[in-house]
Amino acid sequence: MAFTWCNDDHDIKYLHIHQPKTAGATTRDALHSLSNHKDSNDNWHLYRPEQWNKGEFEGFYYNKRFGDVVDIVVKRFRQKGPDYEKAIIFTNVRNPYDKLVSTWFNIQRGGPGEWQWTFQDWFSHFNFTTLPLDCFRNLVINIWKFKRQTNDLLPFFLQTQSEWLVNHNDDLIPNEFIRFENLQSDFKRVCDKIGFSYIEIKQKPKDHIRRVAWDDVHYSSFYDQEGYDGLSLTEMVYEIYKEDFEKFDYNPTLERE
């Protein structure tokens, strides 16, 4: 998780919430480019919660909704002054079917160090035995079994987007959303609102494994693998991430290329 926000002298205050595998990093980089403060730590802040007050965020990897962390950050941000109270709070969201495939690819290539550590440590923490993650189907089955054997939260990068972006009153924390599927046009809309000239977002290259082995394969093809427990993989992922489909208005029917 990372946050990027405006300089104090920017007329329209804004804060960007970066959640993984939603083009959040490319959006952040574009914001840096637009503001001309890419290398200025005094004006741009990329904070990770584990670097903050240890007592306040104790155990956030275990059984803690990231929405709790986001809610604290946004409240702190709005307390900076009257102009901040009406700030634009925005984030990126992505079709859950597509996002989970992208997450699996990131796990395959090693992912950021904390992702690998968190995934392995998380399930061992709950004495949960996982299937090898050498195929997408096994990842879905692992999540499905875990959700039916415990009320505990999944590792942060497998949590629903709603668990990142909804507070305890079930209200969405951001007030603007950039959909991965409409990345350029939605980013332009946000730029217009915060007073930046629009530039085209330069998306990062696909994960190396995906680029080499699956460059021309649509994410929907991964759902053709055999299901589990009498359900197809599509049905399982929909049930796991149902809240995201509903809150962010994604079609529960798997869209083919």
pLDDT in tens, 157-184: 788 999 999 988 889 999 999 999 999 9
| 40 pLDDT more than 70 | no
| 2 pLDDT more than 60 | yes
- Spatial distance between the Cα atoms of 35 and 44, rounded to a whole number of angstroms: 9
How large is the average pLDDT for residues 42-48?
Answer: 36
> pTM value?
0.84
User: What's the pLDDT at 132?
Assistant: 76
Structure-block tokens of residue 232: 């197809």
Do residues 115 and 61 lie in contact, with contact meaning Cβ atoms separated by under 8 Å? no
Q: Which residues lie closer than 8 Å to 85 by C-beta, 6 or more apart?
A: 78
- In the chain, % helix, strand, coil (3-state, to 5) comes to 45, 10, 45
User: What's the pLDDT at 118?
Assistant: 55
* Secondary structure E strands in the chain: 2-5, 14-18, 88-93, 176-179
Structure-block tokens of residue 23: 């083009």
List, for residues 134-153, the tens digit of each pLDDT value.
789 999 998 999 888 888 77
How large is the average pLDDT for residues 220-242?
Answer: 95
How many C-alpha atoms does 63 have within 13 Å on its Cβ side? 5
Of 43, 42, 53, 50, the C-alpha closest to 76 is 53
User: What's the pLDDT at 69?
Assistant: 79
| 3 pLDDT more than 80 | no
User: What's the pLDDT at 97?
Assistant: 97
